[in-house]
Amino acid sequence: MSCCLYPQERLREESILPFSAFLTDNFGRRHSYLRMSLTEKCNLRCQYCMPEDGVKLTPRSQLLSTSEVLTLARLFVQEGVEKIRLTGGEPLIRPDVLDIIAELRKLEGLKTIAVTTNGMNLARLLPKLKDAGLNLINISLDSLVPAKFEFIVRRKGFHKVIEGIDKAIEMGYNPVKVNCVVMRGLNEDELLDFVALTEKKPLEVRFIEYMPFDGNKWNFKKMVSYQEMLDHIRQQWPNLEKLQTGQTETAKTFKVPGFKGQVGFITSMSDHFCGSCNRLRITADGNLKVCLFGNSEVSLRDVLRSGASNEELLQIIGAAVGRKKKQHAGMFSISQMKNRPMILIGGLSHNQSSSEDPSVTLGQSASDQTLPGIDVYNTHLDGTTEEKLTHTDAQGRAAMVDVGGKVPTRRTATARATVLLGPTAFQLLRDNQLAKGDALAVAQLSGIMASKQTSALIPLCHPLPLDQASVTFDLDEPQNAAVVTASCRTTGRTGVEMEALTAVSVAALTIYDMCKAVSHDIIITDVKLVSKTGGKRDFHRHP
Ligand code: SAM
Ligand code: SF4
């Protein structure tokens, strides 16, 4: 390290001074990486990043000015930040981006200035960016098929991005990182084509698990997990070699032997890397975010503009870092949590969407005349009726109703259950800090699996093909409760309420199982059908 370091930096370099207490959290994580969003604007409209009708932009006066960006950067670098990534929105559309980079370059102690860009303006700007001091580039590219690219980003420009990537390689950036958000049914079929790109080019293609943010219609089924991607790639490239990565690296990296480049996976959803997280984020409007998936923010802009001293700013930053949680809330909680759309965060409510509204009343089929199970009557010739049990035979033995003559109709059912957890277990579940792991993730899968097993568990239930099953959770803070909701749909001859009820029951039991080491005082209650449609009679429970 050069001899012109400020004394403090030299001491830190020589490990005499501990890392800044302000940037160290309660779990010992040192935050030496700052991601700064330079703008909320973008020249693309990626489906996974922003809602179709755009986002409400912050008025310009409330965005950080050039000098505010630099003041904050200087402060963070002075405290030990070694890497700053400029992001957005699209950082390369900010007119002063070159000035910002040139000024950042002057900061002693700052080792890396990186940019994440959609690549649209890259080929044109790159020589100047390099001169200014840019030393690391990530370029987003989600498809190698021009028409698909345009569908995903809702704009034209595929060839400009490719040109930007080639220019970055030509100018000696190595590796050039290419970020690809993988979405089921959209670009998962291109994994091998992206891997093939690394044969001749010094690229690091990073497959990113699709993450939920406000307005991006995230759905568990659209996410392709790291393991699934890896399995798929390994079928073609069984010798794919795992590479060693630094402790704070987010990507798990691999290489096909003999290829120039490599591939990486950003597994934020299936295998978070909270334990080694060293990053902080500042939004374009000057809010410090200590966790990408947390919604707590503190306005550094307002503190700056109030004329606060650096010491006061540091106290506020330190307090925010001190509140950083051990890990984020887990993918299902995240998908149901209020957060900014990605474009307003600049990093790598939204419901976990089921495209179906289970409460929609569907038309009733005229042919659907009997409802197995309850109150069906035998009508005699004299017009009198007698109650007939449909699930027993003449000898009173259990018998399954023959539904073979019925015409299949579309049927839905929604059920709900409440798990009263008590304060300790509730808090641990909410913060995803249960020793057994992500309870809601496990409960969701168990609920869905259980719905498919219903006929194997409930003797007289008919096996039916489920078109769809979903399990979601709401956290009820005042009651310290997790409320489980399951919706099932089939196109069949019998209804799916047993499937929905089984799903919520098993998901609730799973939550119990995940929490029982913390407390046995857990009550599963209020298991009920909320609605069902498509059978002889629709049902909608009134609140
Ligand atoms: N406009 C620049 C770009 O596209 O590279 C920088 C900003 S963009 C928000 C930063 C990165 O976040 C991009 O690589 C993008 O692919 C990724 N990203 C955005 N939304 C995402 C999501 N829902 N899931 C995973 N990654 C996402
Ligand atoms: Fe723009 Fe980047 Fe978001 Fe796409 S991912 S809309 S390019 S900010």
C-alpha 527 to ligand 1 mean position (Å)? 40
Nearest-CA residue for ligand 2 atom 4 is 46
The pLDDT tens digits for 463-491 are 888 988 999 988 898 999 999 999 999 98
pLDDT band with cut points at 50, 70 and 90 for residue 30: very high
Report the nearest atom of ligand 2 relative to the CA of 43. 1
Give residue 325's pLDDT band: very low, low, confident or very high (50, 70, 90). Answer: confident
Which has the minimum average pLDDT: 12-16, 47-51, 206-210, 504-508? 12-16
Per-residue pLDDT tens over the stretch 95-116: 999 999 999 999 999 999 999 9
Q: For 244-259, what is each residue's pLDDT tens digit?
A: 877 667 789 999 999 9
3-state secondary structure 19-80: CCCCCECCCCCECCEEEEECCCCCCCCCCCCCCCCCCCCCCHHHCCCHHHHHHHHHHHHHCC
Listed in sequence order, the DSSP H helices in 140-243 are: 146-153, 158-170, 191-197, 226-236
Ligand 1, CB within 6 Å, residue ranges = 42, 48-49, 87-88, 90, 116-118, 140, 179, 181, 208, 210-211, 213, 216, 342-343, 346, 348
Residue 28 makes CB contacts below 8 A (sequence gap 6+) with: none
What mean pLDDT value characterizes the chain? Answer: 84
List residues with catalytic annotation. Answer: 513
Expressed in angstroms and rounded, the spacing between residue 90 Cα and the centre of ligand 2 is: 6
- pLDDT, position 351: 29
- Tell me the best of 343, 344, 345, 348 to mutate to test the pocket of ligand 2, counting ligand atoms within 8 Å of each CB and taking the most: 343
Find the range with the poorest average confidence among 30-39, 164-173, 197-206, 367-376.
367-376
Rounded Cα–Cα distance for residues 48 and 33 (Å): 25
Q: Whose CA is nearest to atom 27 of ligand 1?
A: 348
273-324: pLDDT as tens digits: 788 889 999 999 999 999 877 777 899 999 999 999 999 999 999 999 988 8
Ligand 1 atom nearest the C-alpha of 48 is 23
The rounded Å distance from CA 391 to ligand 2 centre is 57
Q: Output the residue whose Cα is nearest ligand 1's atom 12.
A: 348
User: Per-residue pLDDT tens for 343-391?
Assistant: 777 666 322 222 222 222 222 222 222 222 222 223 233 333 333 445 5
- Whether residue 501 is predicted with pLDDT greater than 50 in this model: the reply is yes
The reported pTM is: 0.65
Mean pLDDT to the nearest integer, 179-197: 96
Ligand nearest to the CA of 85: 1
The residue type found at 97 is: V
Q: How many CA atoms are closer than 13 Å to the CA of 166, on its beta-carbon side? A: 6
DSSP conformation letters of 86-137: EESS-GGGSTTHHHHHHHHHTSTT--EEEEEE-STTHHHHHHHHHHHT--EE
Mind listing the pLDDT tens digit for each residue in 401-455? 666 556 678 899 999 999 999 999 999 998 888 988 889 999 999 999 999 999 9
**What is the distance in A from the centroid of ligand 2 to the CA of 44?**
6
- Between CA 91 and CA 202 the distance in angstroms is 24
Ligand closest to 117 (CA) is 1
Given a cut of 90, whether residue 141 has pLDDT beyond it is yes
Which atom of ligand 1 lies closest to the CA of 179?
14
Task: Tell me which of 8 and 385 has the higher pLDDT.
Answer: 8
What average pLDDT does range 455-461 have in this prediction? 88
Comparing CA positions, the residue from 233, 204, 90 lying closest to residue 157 is 90
Name the closest ligand to CA 138.
1
Indicate whether 11 pLDDT > 60: no
Of 394 and 108, the one with more pLDDT: 108
Per-residue pLDDT, 82: 96
Average pLDDT of 49-75?
93
Q: Supply the pLDDT for residue 407.
A: 67
- List phi, psi (to 5°) of 378: -90, 130
